[in-house]
A and B are shown apart, each in its own frame.
Chain A
Amino acid sequence: MIRKLQQNGWLLNASLLGALLLVALMSGMFGQVDLDMGQMAAAVFGPADSPEAIIVRELRLPRVLLAILAGASLGYSGAALQGLLRNPLADPGVIGVSASASLGAVIAIYMGLAALSPVAIPVLAMAGAFASTAILMLLASRDASVLTLILAGIGISSLATAAIALVMNFTSNPVTVQEMVMWMLGSLENRTFDDLTLAGPFIVAGWLVMMGVGQGLNALSLGEDAAHTLGIDLKRLRWRVVLGTALSVGATVSVCGAVGFVGLVVPHMVRAMIGYEPRRLLLPSAFLGAILMMLADILTRLPIGHGQLRLGVVMAIIGAPVFLYIVFKTRESMR
């Protein structure tokens, strides 16, 4: 019996990985310019200076890679947070982590710190993410109710958003409202390899920190006391999820803005496929998050949006109804 489920787990991960590669390939084919298969092949394998090669390798590829890194981070950390907080509504966006990371990045950029060193941007973003998660841990200790968690998240998010508006208003150089909206909702437009090399190492570091928390999260299904007596170091577990989220989500936000709902929607979908065991949600959520991000990004590049459709808006249109649906389904346990 258990053997079968285990096999299912491997099967699911393998299929998701395959789907990920397929979507990545597809992603390279969409954009403002239509390229046929011949041109695509030339772009990938031919010389680097042709217009097709520049389009695919320098304009589209960084975007796709960043979508994978960002989506995987948001998906994994969403699943980890939900396991840690025993709450299916936890997600870096909902609990205010993404907004706080955005604030950190905005402070770095618009208060001139980025001019000292570009690394200041992801570093401050991660600091913002860390601060908000730490605040949340304090508030949500010892099985705090769902309501407490969501309300705390709203509070943190609102504060961060207001602070962002404040910082952007007071800069000496006028900043458009649109730019602020991009920070709040997220966007993958015009991302370069520089962005990848800046944020990438921190994102991967975050993953490494969060790897292996699955067993502890499973034990937490029985409550903190039982988990403790099963040999789980709860303090260490909390630190790893908090730090891992701060690193990977913080660095993600510093180059993509605060894309919401991925960490909420994706574990939910994985549960429908594989059940509720927290540990088994982690890796599939990373894969599915990457896929979702890439699909949303493809949507923004289709001609229907006239180049005006934003990633964050697409994600919110998908994610907000799912959020409401989950609330509806679990409303009994919210009292």
Chain B
Amino acid sequence: MPSGLQFKHWFKAAFLAAAIGAPASAAPTVAGLDFCADQYVLAFADRADIVALSPDATSPNSFYRTRAGGLPVVRGGAEEILMLRPDVLVRSWSGSVSMDARFDRVGITAYQPPYAFNFEANLKNFGSVATLLGYEAEGKALMANYMARYRALKAAAPISLKAVYMTPSGYTAGRGSSVDDIIRLAGLEPIAEDLGLNGWGPLPLEQLVMTPPDVVIGSFFEDGAVHVSNWSSGRHTVFRDLVKDVPSIMVPSGLMSCGGAFTVDAAEYIRAEIKRLGLMPQAVASAPKSLEGGR
């Protein structure tokens, strides 16, 4: 159920959409200020209407990076946006409220989807941006598709394997984090539960030794893009021995970024990998086909 705040934002998006995109044929021009905002833009907008994206739109962290190829890119930040004058500017973690006011004076509608605490909230954000850009139908379709796949994952048989998540800096994510949600949605048992880990923190090697994991889930390790910290637990010989004979799943960064926006895609990826590695304990009904996803 959307909370009062969510409803307010949805209403605002609809109102804005009505205010700008009156003729259905003339969709508003749109720009994205950071790569999480880019995802919303790339999910719906027509290529011709995209005025500019952030430089990270084509980076491994971007879910829809294949769609972003060839599109113009903003390097000059807010100043360049002011000159480019898109109808709508979508922003996520960049920019500020005061800057929004300035955009407004020039006729640019700046929209920041609210912070999403869970899966439903994430879906709502997709819907809001879709409506804002005049693609309400597409937005609803996307939401329905994700919902169906979500339910399928929830209904799928659990995989009783203990999974631990880690990043190159030797950090792991515990209860309450979006990563934790992804692991649970995939049907795995997060080892954070056994170790009593909450939120983000360094990987506790000693505890891992006492309760070793069955599978390691890593992300942000894409070659060339990352640096293993000199003090990371991943560097320790004990860790290497621990995971030497443990299967690992490297999840593409694009699936893990942006606060769980692609939780379903990530969970599906993990499940598919578990199956491919032959670790699936029993036959699982295949999930409905997703809309063209940007992997």
Q: Identify the A interface with B (CB < 8 A).
A: 31-33, 51, 54-55, 58-59, 109, 171-176, 178-179, 182-183, 187, 189-190, 192-194, 306-308
Residue of A nearest to B202 (CB): A307
Interface size bracket, B side: 20 to 34
Q: Residues 232-272 of chain B: 1 if any A CB is under 8 Å from the residue's CB, otherwise 0?
A: 11011110000000000000000000000000000000000
**Once bound together, how far apart are the Cα atoms of A179 and B204, in whole Å?**
17
**Once bound together, how far apart are the Cα atoms of A174 and B61, in whole Å?**
14
**Which chain A residues lie closer than 8 Å to B224 at the CB level?**
172-173
Q: Main SS of chain A's interface residues? A: loop
Asked if B170 CB lies within 8 Å of chain A CBs, one says yes
Asked if B94 CB lies within 8 Å of chain A CBs, one says no
**Once bound together, how far apart are the Cα atoms of A187 and B169, in whole Å?**
15
Number of A-B residue pairs at CB separation under 8 A: 69
Asked if B201 CB lies within 8 Å of chain A CBs, one says yes
Cross-chain contact B206 with A179 (CB below 8 angstroms)? no
With A32-B206, A54-B209, A59-B238: A182-B201 Cβ-Cβ less than 8 Å:
no
With A32-B204, A33-B210, A307-B204: A179-B237 Cβ-Cβ less than 8 Å:
no
**Once bound together, how far apart are the Cα atoms of A179 and B168, in whole Å?**
12
Cross-chain contact A182 with B230 (CB below 8 angstroms)? yes
**Once bound together, how far apart are the Cα atoms of A32 and B205, in whole Å?**
8
Q: Identify the B interface with A (CB < 8 A).
A: 169-170, 201-202, 204-207, 209-210, 224-227, 229-233, 235-238
**Which chain B residues lie closer than 8 Å to A190 at the CB level?**
170, 205, 231-233, 235-236
**Which chain A residues lie closer than 8 Å to B236 at the CB level?**
59, 190, 192
Residue of B nearest to A32 (CB): B206
Of B206, B225, B235, which is within 8 A of A173 by CB? B225
Cross-chain contact A174 with B231 (CB below 8 angstroms)? no
Of B206, B225, B231, B235, which is within 8 A of A33 by CB? B206
**Which chain B residues lie closer than 8 Å to A175 at the CB level?**
227, 229
**Which chain A residues lie closer than 8 Å to B202 at the CB level?**
189, 307-308
With A178-B169, A307-B202: A193-B227 Cβ-Cβ less than 8 Å:
no
Minimum C-beta distance from A279 to chain B (A): 37
Minimum C-beta distance from A120 to chain B (A): 14
- A–B Cβ pairs within 8 angstroms, 19 of them: A32-B205, A54-B209, A55-B209, A174-B225, A174-B226, A176-B169, A178-B169, A179-B169, A179-B229, A179-B230, A183-B230, A187-B231, A189-B231, A190-B170, A190-B231, A190-B236, A192-B235, A306-B201, A307-B204
With A173-B225, A190-B170, A190-B205: A179-B238 Cβ-Cβ less than 8 Å:
no
